[in-house]
Amino acid sequence: MAILTILEVPDPRLRRISEPVAEVTDEIRALIADMFETMYDAPGIGLAAAQVDVPIRLLVMDLGDGPEDAEGNPGRNPRVFINPEILDPSEDYSVYNEGCLSVPGQYADVERPAVVRARWLDENGVAHDEVLDSLTATCLQHEMDHLDGILFIDHLSRLKRDMVLKKLEKARREKAGKKAA
Ligand code: ZN
């Protein structure tokens, strides 16, 4: 397993449209293992293959909502979505303060359909068709946007988006300054 480099804005590779996965092979499963390792290390709750420079329709998610371990820590709940599709997005929306590993350290409220029916394949090539809600629905929609070259900041007004990008630039300058000092 390996920790992969996560692309960050304004890398143009984040804007590519990802291709469908033709077959769930061992090579794909090896990439999935690396993506989980990269996501847990970051740490984040979702990661699309496009963010690690592999433009295929694959994403991983772990909301930490699995059964608690012996010490009462939230359990891992790794989920894999290959070639995901959204059907029947609800008319009600929910708002979540989203962040993104490709826009590090920045958060903003994004409104998305609260409930979605989704279809996808898992890491064994098994098809799923489920109704998802709350953070699972939000996270899936955020990650699926990456497959179409869309970032959460694209859902914001131009003013808010510029503010987020300016804050990110400032944080990067401060980090670079600290390294030089
Ligand atoms: Zn993201």
Tokens found for residue 174:
């401060």
- At residue 142's C-alpha, the angle toward residues 60 and 169, to 5°, is 105
pLDDT of residue 181: 67
- 19 in catalytic set: no
Query: Domain-by-domain residue ranges, the chain?
Result: 12-180
Q: Where is pLDDT greater, at 67 or 27?
A: 27
**CA 141 – ligand 1 centroid, Å:** 10
Contact 106, 97 (CB under 8 A): no
Q: What is the pTM of this model?
A: 0.94
What does DSSP assign to residue 10? T
pLDDT, the chain, mean: 96
> What kind of architecture, by CATH, is found in domain 12-180?
Alpha-Beta Complex (3.90)
Q: pLDDT category, 71, cuts 50, 70, 90?
A: confident
105-147 confidence digits (pLDDT tens): 999 999 999 999 999 999 999 999 999 999 999 999 999 999 9
**CA 156 – ligand 1 centroid, Å:** 14
**CA 100 – ligand 1 centroid, Å:** 4
**CA 170 – ligand 1 centroid, Å:** 20
pLDDT of residue 179: 76
DSSP symbols for 42-109: TT-SEEEGGGGT--BSEEEE--S-B---TT-PPBP--EEEEEEEEES--SSEEEEEE--TTSTT--EE
Q: Give the span between the Cα atoms of 155 and 69, in whole angstroms.
A: 37
Amino acid at site 34: D
Residue from 8, 71, 111, 143 carrying the catalytic annotation: 143
Q: Give the span between the Cα atoms of 160 and 164, in whole angstroms.
A: 6
